[in-house]
Amino acid sequence: MPPKKAPAPEKKTLLGRPGNNLKIGIVGLPNVGKSSFFNVLSKTDLGKAANFPYATINPEEARIPVPDARFDWLCDLYKPASRVPAHLTCIDIAGLTAGASTGAGLGNAFLSHVRAVDGIFQVVRAFDDAEVIHVEGDVDPCRDMDIISTELRLKDIEWVEKHLDGLKKTGRALGNTSLADKARKEEIATVEKIYNALTKENKDVRKVEWVGKEVDVVNSLQLLTAKPVTYLVNLSERDYVRKKNKWLPKIKAWIDEHNPGDPLIPFSVALEERLAQLPEDERAEEEKKAGANSALPKITTAGYASLDLIRYFTCGPDEVRAWTIRRGTKAPQAAGVIHSDFENKFVCGEIMSFDDLKEYGSETAVKAAGKLKQQGKTYEMVDGDIAYWKSGA
């Protein structure tokens, strides 16, 4: 008898909403530079930067192009009439204060806005400026991070408690025979595991290992601490240029203790605002003179990656376009991002990798080398794929 095939590894479901139209929210205490950061990131003045708490009340939204050297190279190769890069949707959210989970300040509105996004840019203030008041009286980024972490976790605990109570009330009459009863019992066990992680282990939900159907339960609750966080530390221009600040080691230690693995990116709103006022051609010269580059491309790329987003390209003389999909997306669903008919009537995709195109220099050479592959419905897209879709009538 031939040896049995090893079972395929279980496909890991990603935390968060399915889909490619995901959003990242800019979160932090008042007056840490959130709206000023949003303005330079989006090159607008939508965010109301002001020297008092709650200057931003209704969240503002902007689509930020995600820098990608591959996209630029493809545009140079095809010289298309239209160029459409990948975008990251950013939301500027009102400042959070201690007590937000119980409705203090703009607490309830703030937390509902955080619930509506898929990831978080947490702006942390590490600069001193007597003219910019701090809502807590003095600058202490670790205390600020504690406040935000506590408020998000408290709101999750309240949310999970209510959900668990409801499940237990309906769960008393459950038997052991039907599949529906068994599924409900599994759901109760998962929600209890979430509650214990938040209350006993003092962990954010995203820092717990969830398996199988547990992920679906976690995702259904839309928990605040399940969202990926990228910490952005706002420094003075002087500290950013010299890459030194007394708070940075302490912030790094805080992240390592509370949320290990979360990215930390230092930047300076003061420098970014100065650069944003310059014409494109003068900006590089000013960065050289200042001795530091803008951190915005790095921040945008990190935010995009934190949401498990990747992109594939469609290329031709009319248009080079980057299409955003989530990691793990299969070919038909990737084609469906362009038009639902491409998914519903999917036949196959002709796919080559960006690296192969760059190496061989042209589509004809890639094809001659046997590197242009026909892929079917089970093909999982790879970041940087270049695709031509075929669909039925």
pLDDT string in tens for the chain (393-residue length): 555 555 544 556 788 877 778 999 999 988 888 889 998 988 854 444 444 344 344 558 888 999 999 999 999 999 999 999 999 999 988 777 666 555 554 446 677 888 889 999 999 999 887 555 555 567 899 999 999 999 899 999 999 999 999 888 876 666 666 777 788 888 999 999 999 999 999 999 999 999 989 999 999 999 999 999 999 999 999 999 999 999 999 999 999 999 999 999 999 999 999 999 998 889 989 999 989 999 999 999 999 999 999 999 999 999 999 999 999 999 999 999 999 999 999 999 999 999 999 999 999 999 999 999 999 999 999 999 999 999 987
Residue 229: predicted pLDDT: 97
Would you state the pLDDT for residue 5?
A: 54
Helix then strand then coil, in percent of the chain rounded to 5, is 45, 20, 40
191 is in an annotated binding site: no
Crossing angle (nearest 10°) for helices 248-258 and 141-171: 20
Cβ-count burial 103-115 (b if 16+ within 10 Å, e if not): eebbbebbbebbb
Task: Identify residue 154 by its one-letter amino acid code.
Answer: L
What's the pTM? 0.87
| Residue 332 identity | P
For position 173, what pLDDT does the model report? 63
Report the pLDDT value the prediction gives residue 101, as an integer from 0 to 100: 57
- Tell me: is residue 31 an annotated ligand-binding position: yes
Q: Tell me whether residue 34 is annotated as binding.
A: yes
Whole-number pLDDT of residue 37: 93
Residue 320 known to bind ligand: no
Which pLDDT belongs to residue 179? 78
Beta partners for residue 310, in sequence order? 325
Asked whether the beta carbons of 208 and 200 are under 8 A apart, the reply is: no
Question: How many helices and strands, by DSSP H and E, does the chain display?
Answer: 15, 12
Domains and CATH numbers, the chain: 329-391 (3.10.20.30)
Degrees, nearest 5: CA angle 111-114-116: 115
- The position carrying tokens 């600040």 is 245
User: Annotated binding residue at 36?
Assistant: yes
The answer to whether the CB of 238 falls within 8 A of the CB of 128 is no
For residue 6, the model assigns a pLDDT of 53
